């Protein structure tokens, strides 16, 4: 597949970027142990739980399971999660660039590896959540989005809401998930906000060398950029200049 040219935008619409590892740990590290994976730049610590809600006839019950911890940087834009099933680093807006983001992920990932000692890395993924504010009136979603819903000509051609989820196997290893929706929140006057949530993931079946793992992340980033460019139009690009 030939990738579309990468572009740099002065006002990229990224609200959150995530580098994610799915791992298998040995039985030793507990969610509590993972709390030791500290970094002085990340002052705020919160537990991460999995919640289960059980329904019966007329009764409900809820339980929780500790998964790990979430740490937030003092100045806010970085958050890392150390879980019994993986590691993730999020970069919130304003997004800077891949080099800074991946370097920080690698720095914290090394700490995770040292304490959690994962047996295998089973999955790696990138997820970029974009919010695109399109000025109103919006008379054709297609002017801004190359992936947008079509409506039967026998129906009115106006939408107040939509949610589209596309799962696209790119090849035998890589899967792309594109979630697109209207965000029913007023974030900017005289505009409608569109969520463009792009996930690119790869399952790993064999042990990976550390360097190869990061090279693979570099490839997933190229795929992510291609998907983003493939989903928007020149008119949308103008919004980010």
Partner 1 sequence: MSKTNAVKYAPRAQEPQRTAYPSYLVPVPSAPAEGVGEEALTVTRQLEELSARINQTETLTRALLARLEEDEALAPYNHVQGRQIGMIKVRYKNLGRLPPREVSYDDE
Q: Is 180 in the site for partner 1 (CB under 8 A)?
A: no
Cβ atoms of 176 and 227 within 8 Å: the answer is yes
Q: Is 133 in the site for partner 1 (CB under 8 A)?
A: no
Q: How far is the CB of 35 from partner 1 (least distance, A)?
A: 16
Considering only 37, 88, 116, 220, the residue that binds partner 1 (CB under 8 A) is 88
Q: Is 72 in the site for partner 1 (CB under 8 A)?
A: yes
Q: Is 137 in the site for partner 1 (CB under 8 A)?
A: yes
Q: Is 153 in the site for partner 1 (CB under 8 A)?
A: yes
Q: How far is the CB of 146 from partner 1 (least distance, A)?
A: 12
Q: How many residues does the chain have?
A: 241
Cβ atoms of 87 and 71 within 8 Å: the answer is no
**Segment interacting with partner 1 (CB under 8 A) among 1-9, 85-93, 109-117, 229-237:** 85-93
Q: Is 195 in the site for partner 1 (CB under 8 A)?
A: yes
Question: Which two three-digit tokens encode residue 36?
Answer: 């030791």
Long-range residue pairs from 87-92, CB within 8 A, at least 24 positions apart, any chain: 87/20, 87/21, 87/23, 87/112, 87/116, 88/18, 88/19, 88/20, 88/21, 89/18, 89/19, 90/16, 90/17, 90/18, 91/16, 91/17, 91/18, 92/15, 92/16
| Residues facing residue 63 across a β-bridge | 52
Considering only 158, 189, 206, 238, the residue that binds partner 1 (CB under 8 A) is 158
Judged by beta carbon, residue 59 or residue 241, the one nearer partner 1 is 59
What does residue 16 show for φ and ψ, rounded to 5 degrees? -160, 140
Q: How far apart are CA 211 and CA 13, in angstroms?
A: 30
Cβ atoms of 204 and 153 within 8 Å: the answer is no
Q: Is 161 in the site for partner 1 (CB under 8 A)?
A: yes
Q: Is 147 in the site for partner 1 (CB under 8 A)?
A: no
Site of interaction with partner 1 (CB under 8 A): 15-16, 18, 20, 46, 48-55, 58, 60, 62-64, 67, 70, 72, 79, 81, 88, 90, 92, 123, 125, 127, 129, 131, 134, 136-142, 148-151, 153, 156-161, 163, 165, 177, 179, 182-183, 185, 192, 195, 197, 199, 201
């Amino acid at each position: 597949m030939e990738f579309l040219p990468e572009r740099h935008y002065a006002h990229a619409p990224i609200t959150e970027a995530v580098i994610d590892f799915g791992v298998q740990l040995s039985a030793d590290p507990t969610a509590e142990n993972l709390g030791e994976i500290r970094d002085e730049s990340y002052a705020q610590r919160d537990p991460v739980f999995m919640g289960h809600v059980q329904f019966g006839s007329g009764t409900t019950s809820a339980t929780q399971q500790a998964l790990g911890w979430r740490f937030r940087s003092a100045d806010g834009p970085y958050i890392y999660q150390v879980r019994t099933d993986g590691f993730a680093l999020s970069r919130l807006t304003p997004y800077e660039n891949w080099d800074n983001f991946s370097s920080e992920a690698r720095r914290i990932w090394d700490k995770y590896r040292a304490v959690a000692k994962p047996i295998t890395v089973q999955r790696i993924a990138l997820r970029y959540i974009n919010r695109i504010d399109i000025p109103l009136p919006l008379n054709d979603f297609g002017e801004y989005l190359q992936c947008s819903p079509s409506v039967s000509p026998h129906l009115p051609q106006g939408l107040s809401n939509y949610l589209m989820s596309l799962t696209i196997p790119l090849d035998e290893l890589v899967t792309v998930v594109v979630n697109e929706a209207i965000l029913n929140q007023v974030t900017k006057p005289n505009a409608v906000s569109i969520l463009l949530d792009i996930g690119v993931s790869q399952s790993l079946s064999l042990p990976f060398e550390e360097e190869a793992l990061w090279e693979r992340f570099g490839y997933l980033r190229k795929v992510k950029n291609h998907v983003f460019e493939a989903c928007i139009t020149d008119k949308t690009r103008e919004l980010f200049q």
